């Protein structure tokens, strides 16, 4: 077992050492520490931008284009198809960042701001409803809705919140089986 020291500040410093079988007291003179400024070192590398973003790329497995803003899921081969809330296996892993054709590499946003000039493919209108939460739709694949699904056996999955008519803060959450 080791000793522990307790320092009591005064004109002189009282140090109490607590050891397993003894207690030792001793006085030491107070010591002043003087720091002299050193020259500043070189600047470090730039830090992150402050916008947390998590994106990844996957191949479009659909026989048609996946459009920017649409929620996508990963099929059994690890490729992207449109997500839908009425099937547990089709829950979303993110939102398409761009429109790509079949077999093309698709960038998918899982966390961060996604800005589009036209959200028609995902929400049915060019603009988002500001400050609204968006969920994965039940009836049609690849659609976002503002009212969460609430009937079994559907899946409720929160995907994002709009911060302006053109910007969505994507924050894909785990699905909940209803």
Residues of the chain with pLDDT under 70: 1-37, 47-53, 153
Q: Residue 116 and residue 139: Cα distance in Å, rounded? A: 24
Which residue, among 78, 104, 75, has the nearest Cα to 91 in the 3D structure? 75
Instruction: Give the pLDDT score at 141.
Output: 92
Instruction: Give the pLDDT score at 35.
Output: 55
Domains of the chain listed by start with CATH number: 1-30 (no CATH), 54-177 (2.40.300)
Instruction: Give the pLDDT score at 122.
Output: 94
Q: Which residues contact 177 (CB under 8 A, 6 or more apart)?
A: 88, 152, 153, 155
The tokens of 22 are what?
Answer: 């003894």
Instruction: Give the pLDDT score at 148.
Output: 86
142: alpha, beta or left? (left if phi > 0; alpha if psi -120 to 50):
left
Instruction: Give the pLDDT score at 135.
Output: 94
Instruction: Give the pLDDT score at 46.
Output: 77
Q: Which residues contact 107 (CB under 8 A, 6 or more apart)?
A: 55, 56, 57, 96, 97, 98
Q: Enter the DSSP assignment of 65.
A: P
- The number of C-alpha atoms within 13 Å of 166 and in the hemisphere containing its C-beta is 4
Instruction: Give the pLDDT score at 1.
Output: 44
Helix (H) or strand (E) holding 123, with range, is: helix 120-123
């Amino acid at each position: 077992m080791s000793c522990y020291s307790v320092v009591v500040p005064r004109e002189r410093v009282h140090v109490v050492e607590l050891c397993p079988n003894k207690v030792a007291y001793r006085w030491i003179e107070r010591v002043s520490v003087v720091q002299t400024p050193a020259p500043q070192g070189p600047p470090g590398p730039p830090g992150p931008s402050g916008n947390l973003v998590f994106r990844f790329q996957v191949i479009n497995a659909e026989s048609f284009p996946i459009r920017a803003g649409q929620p996508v899921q990963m099929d059994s081969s690890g490729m992207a198809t449109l997500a839908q809330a009425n099937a547990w296996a089709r829950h979303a892993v993110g939102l398409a960042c761009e429109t790509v054709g079949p077999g093309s590499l698709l960038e998918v946003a899982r966390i961060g701001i996604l800005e589009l000039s036209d959200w028609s493919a995902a929400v049915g209108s060019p603009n988002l409803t500001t400050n609204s939460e968006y969920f994965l739709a039940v009836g049609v694949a690849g659609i976002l809705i503002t009212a969460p699904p609430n009937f079994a056996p559907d899946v409720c999955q929160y995907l994002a919140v709009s911060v302006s008519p053109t910007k969505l803060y994507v924050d894909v959450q785990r699905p909940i089986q209803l």
